[in-house]
Amino acid sequence: MTNSAVRMTGVVKRFPGVIANDGVNFEVLKGEVHALLGENGAGKSTLSNILTGLYRPDEGSIDLDGTPVSFSSPKAALDAGIGMVHQHFRLVEPFTVAENVILGNPQTAFVIDTDSTVERVADLARRYDMAVDPNAKIWQLSVGEQQRVEILKVLYRGAGVLILDEPTAVLTPIEAEALFKTLRAMTAEGRTVIFISHKLDEVMSVSDRITVLRGGRTVGTVATRDTSTRELAGMMVGRSVEFSRATRRNPGDPGDVVLSLTDVSCEDDRGREALHGIDVTIGRGEIVGVAGVAGNGQRELAEVIAGMRTFTSGRILVGDKPLANGRARSAIADGVAHVPEDRLHTGLAAGHSVEDNIALKNYRTPLLSRFGMLKRNVITSQACDLVTRYDVKTPDTATPVRLLSGGNVQKVLLAREFSTKPKVLIAASPTRGLDVGAIETVRQRLVEAADDGVGILLICEDLEEIMSLADRIVVMYEGRLVADMPAVGATREQLGLLMGGATPETSQ
């Protein structure tokens, strides 16, 4: 009798120009939370896609509970008991939670006995500590609640092994804590969890064991209690890592204003007021950090400045020029660059190549086109240069972006937005989903952009990131800026209180 839930032996998966998994050995024990770590492009998502039947391995074998298996589809894997919680949710918005949980379950056939289903879903949610109303419609739910529905779907189908690919990338810190409780409740009942994350602190606190991949190969498996974040970072990159701070050369000039918002208000997608009279300025070369719990108007703030959402009152100046309301193309022309939260949907054309995506915003400029003809060789060489500077792992610049790993997709977008020589850069969680090495590279590039005079609005829930990069910090709460202070002297406690709605007086 073995205690092994999943064992992969010598698994190889090749794509054109890349060996994504190169003889991976990986064993997960029953009832553990097993974290999977590795740099961007190391092969983690590929490994999960093989385990869940989305890809077939070219070589190697998989055992489930000690028996060899081979899955022809995700459904086959789920029938065998391996379920995946995807980062991009696959829920039907107008339907309720309970309806989504049972959708696609063959046992339900066509008759849905609503009362007993709702009861079963509610039971499951309670058992695993998940706060979600089975009768709520999907569109009414927060991102964290939608993720719970995805987890319920897999549990409802009876999965004994759950794979979560970067589940916390979309969660607030409080939602992440709640997820960890749920994972614990699942392993306590003998279920097995495979958990992918780049956040080392998180991995240290939630996992029992950790496997590190590098370049498609297994570096090793360690017990969490016997290791440290420093050792893990070293295993991931193959050398020791210094956690250093990006250093500024120029302090910036707050007097020379590159962006100003005066009394700006706007509505969210459902027509409710999302911003209430925002006043803020950014100086040349200044990094202004926007701290706040997600959902307090940060996305709308970024969108009005990028011309992707109309503001209902107030005005916005880029330099001394008024911004055309709700016109993304003029915002770009006026020098506003934007790294949106949702990179694949609003930031990039996923089916197009790396170089076309990099050229996307500049193709009208004389550098890249002449008399309407694109200068292909300039486009390619500019792209090659950025791929090197941002360490994008891709076979070449003609590869479609959708074939890159999650983190490398990010780097393409950052490379493009940083290189348009903007006046103003709006960056939403720029290092989310990046590995430790890439985070340092991106922070360094942000600081260089500021040193070159770009005014940066850094919107981020990670206080550590804001405190290490920003010159000034504003706090957003329920669509208002509730504080505006120099970063020097700001404390985590004070910011945390303001983010939770404490008034500046009570948080001093």
Ligand X SMILES: Nc1ncnc2c1ncn2[C@@H]1O[C@H](COP(=O)(O)OP(=O)(O)OP(=O)(O)O)[C@@H](O)[C@H]1O
Report the Cα 495 to chain-centroid distance in Å. 23
Tokens encoding 315: 């005005």
Q: Which stretch binds Mg ion (CB under 5 A): 204-212, 347-355, 403-411, 481-489?
A: 403-411
CB of 455 to Mg ion, least distance (A): 32
DSSP 111-139: ---HHHHHHHHHHHHHHTT----TTSBGG
Nearer Cβ to Mg ion (406/455) = 406
Residues that bind ligand X (CB under 6 A): 15, 18, 20, 38, 40-46, 393, 403-408
State the DSSP H helix or E strand holding residue 11, giving kind and residue range, or none if neither. strand 4-15
Q: Are 298 and 317 in contact (CB under 8 A)?
A: no
Amino acid at 52: T
Please tell me the number of Cα atoms within 13 Å of 371 on its side-chain side. Answer: 0
CB of 405 to Mg ion, least distance (A): 5
Nearer Cβ to Mg ion (77/359) = 77
What is the SS3 assignment for 453?
Answer: coil
CB of 431 to Mg ion, least distance (A): 15
Say which residues have a Cβ less than 8 Å from residue 412's Cβ, sequence separation at least 6.
348, 354, 357, 358, 390, 392, 401, 404
Nearer Cβ to ligand X (46/281) = 46
CB of 429 to ligand X, least distance (A): 15
CB of 403 to ligand X, least distance (A): 4
CB of 95 to ligand X, least distance (A): 29
Q: Which does 419 bind (CB under 5 to 8 A by kind): Mg ion, ligand X, none?
A: none
What is the SS3 assignment for 80?
Answer: helix
Q: Which of residues 3-62 bind Mg ion (CB under 5 A)?
A: 45
Q: Which does 100 bind (CB under 5 to 8 A by kind): Mg ion, ligand X, none?
A: none
Nearer Cβ to ligand X (43/252) = 43
Nearer Cβ to ligand X (45/224) = 45
Tokens encoding 293: 């719990």
CB of 216 to ligand X, least distance (A): 7
Please tell me the number of Cα atoms within 13 Å of 201 on its side-chain side. Answer: 6
Q: Are 406 and 342 in contact (CB under 8 A)?
A: no
Site map (CB under 5 A) of Mg ion, residues 355-394, x = contact: ----------------------------------------
Q: Which of residues 104-133 bind Mg ion (CB under 5 A)?
A: none
183-220 core/surface letters (b: 16 or more CB in 10 A; e: else) = beebbeeebbbbbbbbbbebbbebbbbbbbbbebbbbe
Nearer Cβ to ligand X (101/439) = 439
Cα 167 from Cα 173, distance rounded (Å):
12
Nearer Cβ to ligand X (347/406) = 406
Q: Which does 18 bind (CB under 5 to 8 A by kind): Mg ion, ligand X, none?
A: ligand X
CB of 300 to ligand X, least distance (A): 28
Q: Which of residues 60-89 bind Mg ion (CB under 5 A)?
A: none
Q: Which does 466 bind (CB under 5 to 8 A by kind): ligand X, Mg ion, none?
A: none
Number of residues that bind Mg ion (CB under 5 A): 3
Sheet holding 59-64, edge to edge: 18-29, 4-15, 59-64, 67-69
Residue selected from 406, 422, 430, 455 as contacting Mg ion according to rule CB under 5 A: 406
Residues found near Mg ion in the complex (CB under 5 A) = 45, 405-406
